Amino acid sequence: MKIRIGILSAGGDCAGINSAVHWFVNSALDKDLVPLRGVMFEIIGIVDGYKGLIEVKPDKKDSMKAWTIPLDAEAVRTWDRYGGTRLGTTRINPFDPKNDVSDLLIENYKKLGLEALVILGGFDSLGAAYRLYRKGVKIVGIPKTIDRDLSETDYTIGYDSALNAITEDVDRIRITAGSHSRIFVVECMGRRAGWLALEGGEASGADVILIPEHDFLIERVSELLQTRKKAGKRYSIVMISEGAKPRGMEEIHEKRGRDGFGNYYLGGVGGFLAEEIQKQTDLEVRYVALRHLQRGGSPTAYDRRMGRKFGIGALDMIVNEDFGRMVSLKHGQITSVPLKKALEKLRLVEVEKFYSTKDYRSLDHIME
């Protein structure tokens, strides 16, 4: 007898998801482990995240073909090296208060004969996963988000690839910034967490770093840039997180409203800041929002490895019946943590430890 497991990716895509699916499937179907585990598995990929489990009509062949993918070693053979998610994803919230379809989803989960469900998700998608667990679905979570804002894990798949994208993009921007003696305001993603700005800024050598965890003064940014100019620097890079805001102002978000979980789409603060610096100084300023460039591309070696470790870890959790939990990296080791705990609060930058509120940069020295 085989135990049938479903796996889906939900929320924003990122590099490394495919690696996790690849290794999850390979571990699940590893014949050598059958005697040890005492069970055999069959893995069903669900297309487009929660949407697939809502839309699928398990008794209709065409619908099954559209919303599910039988996964075996051959099907996922090359997946580990590709970015994005081959399973597809959406930002649908099955518990949307205006259209709660969680019961339908659970009905389909049962009709598909699934005995557990693996969710690759970030804060919101794993929040929905936890609610499904509370309603009786055997859930295992795998943390993935370029924001790296989930508590109870030192890593979320996709973060390292996004950091590398930021670093490469700033390398390009530096060249034109230097040619023209310009200031470049570079806006990165990260939602309410400043990790991408802080560590992307560190990696790319940004001169000013602005994070959501500390509201900045526009005048201070201008002052720091002018000081650099006076010191003979031809150009400067300002790395700003999409969630950062000037003191006394609200976050700047796009006009397209909110996602299925009620979050505004952040974006535009870099453009606003660029205009303000331009007004306050004689510096020539340009603005670039890196946006989804941070989410595309191939996974870095680290994301492939973490996808592998999280994928295999998730399968071990199923074997051990560790449901309602998320695979996690803690102090260099793979472990599992209760989803409830991981979702209690966002993991944000600890300003006192990592950030200079005076100079708007990371705290690099042992003694500052």
Q: Which is nearer to ligand F6P, 96 or 359 (CB)?
A: 96
Residue type at position 33: L
Minimum distance from CB of 168 to ligand F6P (Å)? 17
Minimum distance from CB of 14 to ligand F6P (Å)? 7
x-or-dash string of contact with ligand F6P, 1-40, rule CB under 6 A: -----------x----------------------------
- SS3 state at 150: strand
- Give the residue, chosen from 6, 83, 84, 122, that forms a contact with ligand F6P under the rule CB under 6 A: 122
Q: How far, in Å, CA of 79 to CA of 86, rounded? A: 7
- Give the residue, chosen from 266, 288, 306, 312, that forms a contact with ligand F6P under the rule CB under 6 A: 266
Minimum distance from CB of 251 to ligand F6P (Å)? 11
Q: How far is CA 210 from CA 283, 351, 354, in A?
A: 19, 11, 12
- Give the residue, chosen from 55, 147, 199, 322, that forms a contact with ligand F6P under the rule CB under 6 A: 147
Minimum distance from CB of 155 to ligand F6P (Å)? 15
Closest by CA to 183, choosing from 268, 270, 282, 286, is 286
Minimum distance from CB of 180 to ligand F6P (Å)? 29
Q: Which is nearer to ligand F6P, 83 or 190 (CB)?
A: 190
Footprint of ligand F6P on 177-206 (CB under 6 A): 189-191
Q: How far, in Å, CA of 237 to CA of 286, rounded? A: 10
Beta bridge partners of 265: none
Binding flag, residue 143, ligand F6P (CB under 6 A): no
Q: Which is nearer to ligand F6P, 267 or 313 (CB)?
A: 267
Residue facing ligand F6P at closest CB distance = 189
Count of residues of this chain found to bind ligand F6P when the rule CB under 6 A is applied = 13
Please return the burial class of 127, using the count of CB atoms within 10 Å of its CB with bins 0-12, 13-18 and 19+: middle
Q: Which is nearer to ligand F6P, 95 or 265 (CB)?
A: 265
- Give the residue, chosen from 145, 222, 300, 336, that forms a contact with ligand F6P under the rule CB under 6 A: 145
Two tokens at 161?
A: 């690839």
- Give the residue, chosen from 51, 295, 304, 309, that forms a contact with ligand F6P under the rule CB under 6 A: 295
Q: How far, in Å, CA of 21 to CA of 15, rounded? A: 12
Q: Is the dihedral of CA 208, 210, 214, 215 positive or negative?
A: positive
Q: Which is nearer to ligand F6P, 108 or 145 (CB)?
A: 145
Helix and strand counts by DSSP (H, E) for the chain: 13, 15
Q: Is the dihedral of CA 347, 97, 8, 296 positive or negative?
A: negative
Minimum distance from CB of 82 to ligand F6P (Å)? 18
Two tokens at 313?
A: 């870890």
Q: Is the dihedral of CA 153, 201, 298, 7 positive or negative?
A: positive
Minimum distance from CB of 49 to ligand F6P (Å)? 12
147 is catalytic: yes
Q: Which is nearer to ligand F6P, 307 or 322 (CB)?
A: 307
- The size of the chain, in residues, is 368
Q: Which of 48, 124, 147, 207 is catalytic?
A: 147
Footprint of ligand F6P on 226-245 (CB under 6 A): 242
Q: How far, in Å, CA of 49 to CA of 53, rounded? A: 7
Two tokens at 126?
A: 């794993």
Binding flag, residue 119, ligand F6P (CB under 6 A): no
Query: Could you tell me how far CA 258 lies from the centroid of its own chain?
Result: 18
Contact 184, 288 (CB under 8 A): yes
Binding flag, residue 265, ligand F6P (CB under 6 A): yes
Q: Which is nearer to ligand F6P, 295 or 308 (CB)?
A: 295
Footprint of ligand F6P on 73-112 (CB under 6 A): 91
Closest by CA to 315, choosing from 1, 7, 2, is 7
> What DSSP designation does 291 have?
G
Q: Can you give the binding site for ligand F6P, defined by CB under 6 A?
A: 12, 91, 122, 145-147, 189-191, 242, 265-266, 295
Residues with catalytic function: 147
